[in-house]
Structure 1
Amino acid sequence: MAHFMNNTQKVLELLSNSTNYLSGEKIASEVGISRTAVWKIVKNLQDLGYPIKSKMHSGYYYKDNNKLNEFIIKKNLPTDLKNIAFELHDSLNSTNIRAKEISASQVDSQPLIIISDQQTGGYGRYGRSFSSPKTTGIYMSILLKTQSKELNPGLLTTATALAVARTIEKNLGVATQIKWVNDVLVNQKKVVGILTEAVSDIESGSINQVIIGIGINYLSDISLFPPEIQERVGTLREYVEQSHLSRNYFIAQLLGEFFALYSDYQSGDFIDEYKEKSYLIGKKVTIIQGEQRVSGIVADIDKKGRLVLQDGTILYSGEVTKVRLV
């Protein structure tokens, strides 16, 4: 997507990428505007919540906090991902819905990352509501052209779950478990939900784009969630506050992990690592698939990301409704 930058964005980019104070004079000459115009733009950015410090005789300094900022995310991305396009919003009904809207007219083959500070109509599997309070969570959708005619949404979801689990463990120092197929748990509570949706071409019927939605309870306060889910839901808040990692930095690390796995996810080579984090292997589970209910002990997760029960039953997808120790 073409990204037209106005003067406000140019000023924000300069401040976001600087490690020191920048004088108004330097910003004015870089952007090609007056120092008064710089002062007005900075004042406006501060009013919008951007953490820009002003210091007499030194200029302006950006201290990253939890305000979402595309330039800070990009600054922390691996070099090979610097050209990814972003779309940031204060509020959306759902980042996945926005990705679907774009996919209808999107011809660009570059990945697009859509992030919103809040979702008013966030949803998970089976259309269930996904609670998305503002300024505390990470609500993100990745819109991708499919790599080949063969798409395995289940395997892509498992790869995404592993990317999120790796990011949490490496950056927040806390152990994770993955509940097949799309939940990441900390202390047996769900902190991340993932929803993969395929977008098919109406004329050819082939799947030509895929949307991966990721919702993370990053700094979330559990008391703000609906009472009926508070028992099952967890938050990374305690670990984030200890490590002082902004959402921008975490998002950049997550995208790095995701694209490293995505380049070769069809091989299923990551499954052994995924299995090490499995919450289900060796446990008795009940799984619902449409009208069907299946129970059994989980023996394995195969290279295609499918759940294998001890009696030989293989499940591509489904919802685990009960988990018991054997």
Structure 2
Amino acid sequence: MSTTQQVLELLTHTNDPLSGQDIANQLGLSRTAVWKAIKSLQTAGYKIDSRPRVGYQLYDSGNLSEALIRKYLPTTFLYPIEIHKTIDSTNIRAKQLGNQANIATPYIVIADQQTAGYGRYGRNFVSPSGTGIYISILLNNSRFDFDPGLLTTAVSLAITRTIEKKLNATAQIKWVNDVIVDEKKICGILTEGISDLETQSLTKIVVGAGINYLTTTFPIEIEKRAGSLRKYALQAHVSRNEFIANYLIEFFNLYKNYFDGTFMDEYRQHSNIIGHKVTISQGEKTLTGTVTAINDKGALVLADGTILSSGEVTKIRPL
């Protein structure tokens, strides 16, 4: 670990100011080495308050940082975290990692900006820097009965839980996985698989999420239906680092047993379409019906008995 990283780690896990001499003593460094490390961190964007006769104190300025994310995570959380300033897509990166023979999973990829972010059906996902949360989790798969719909619903619930616990905002879920706040979509989720060509088996899974966290503007074509958590995040003083950490906690709590569907009652409580007449698009086909339930596999149940495990709700009619 570099000197700069050592100093960052120490400041991250200390709530009170530390003098240069304290840092030097604890890490076995010279005062000059400490000073150079502090300047390097400040240049890199870390907010470190420096007060004479008081010391140095690190604050979460909102810049994405593995050290700060881990500050909000339990010490038992040891999965690797990779952060990029700019990347084409966190899902693409996670899939690249998934094709490496000895990559450890779960593996988390986070970006401050995506230049080629995408969602369901290959749609472009606008991913500006400094405002959004773009995160993908690479998972190993040993289940022959893997259900992507059930995992996707678990992801949407993990994000919903995080919003309600950390930001004190009410969130709803539009089937399958659109998270809605103030009647606008604030999050997109995409689950993808990596297959072994020889065995024809699904070996790894990538679950990606793009969250409009501090976003202020959207392209004209989506501005009427896209929303942001900015108001709630600023009111609650919750940084992207803290939100990401809490999402990871919620996700892995659900992921342990997601395949048994025991969380579906909670998912249904957050659904904004049960009891509503909806229009659903499935490729070239369009269906209309009243939603009577969402079953324990995450499938939509219509009043005429139709069961849909995939599709997109394009219109919801008021009750």
TM-score by length of 2: 0.96
Which whole-Å CA distance do the structure 1 matches of 2:119 and 2:30 have between them? 48
How do residues 280-291 of structure 1 correspond to structure 2 at under 5 angstroms? 280-291=273-284
Partner of 2:292: 299
Which whole-Å CA distance do the structure 1 matches of 2:213 and 2:306 have between them? 36
Q: Secondary structure at the match of 1:215?
A: strand
How do residues 39-118 of structure 1 correspond to structure 2 at under 5 angstroms? 39-80=35-76, 82-118=77-113
AA matched with 1:92 = I
Which whole-Å CA distance do the structure 1 matches of 2:309 and 2:160 have between them? 21
What CA RMSD, in Å, does the superposition of the two structures yield over aligned residues? 1.4
Contact 2:112-2:129 at 8 Å conserved across structures: yes
Which whole-Å CA distance do the structure 2 matches of 1:101 and 1:108 have between them? 10
Which whole-Å CA distance do the structure 2 matches of 1:154 and 1:60 have between them? 48
- The partner residue of 1:160 within 155, 159, 167 is 155
Q: Secondary structure at the match of 2:221?
A: helix
Which whole-Å CA distance do the structure 2 matches of 1:95 and 1:145 have between them? 17
Which whole-Å CA distance do the structure 2 matches of 1:152 and 1:65 have between them? 39
Which whole-Å CA distance do the structure 2 matches of 1:75 and 1:56 have between them? 26
Which whole-Å CA distance do the structure 2 matches of 1:325 and 1:244 have between them? 34
Which whole-Å CA distance do the structure 1 matches of 2:82 and 2:5 have between them? 13
AA matched with 1:319 = E
How do residues 1-326 of structure 1 correspond to structure 2 at under 5 angstroms? 5-80=1-76, 82-221=77-216, 223=217, 225-326=218-319
Report Cα offsets for 1:100-147 as digits up to 9, x if no partner: 111111524431111111111111001101111111111100111125
Query: Shift of residue 206 of structure 1?
Result: 0.8
Report Cα offsets for 1:186-226 as digits up to 9, x if no partner: 011001111111111122111111111011111110x2x11
Q: Which runs of 5+ in 1 are unaligned?
A: none
Identity rate, percent? 54
Which whole-Å CA distance do the structure 2 matches of 1:7 and 1:89 have between them? 21
Contact 1:91-1:119 at 8 Å conserved across structures: yes
Contact 1:109-1:144 at 8 Å conserved across structures: no
Q: Which runs of 5+ in 2 are unaligned?
A: none
Contact 2:117-2:127 at 8 Å conserved across structures: yes
AA matched with 1:78 = P
CA 1:296–1:129: 2 relative to 1, 3 Å: same
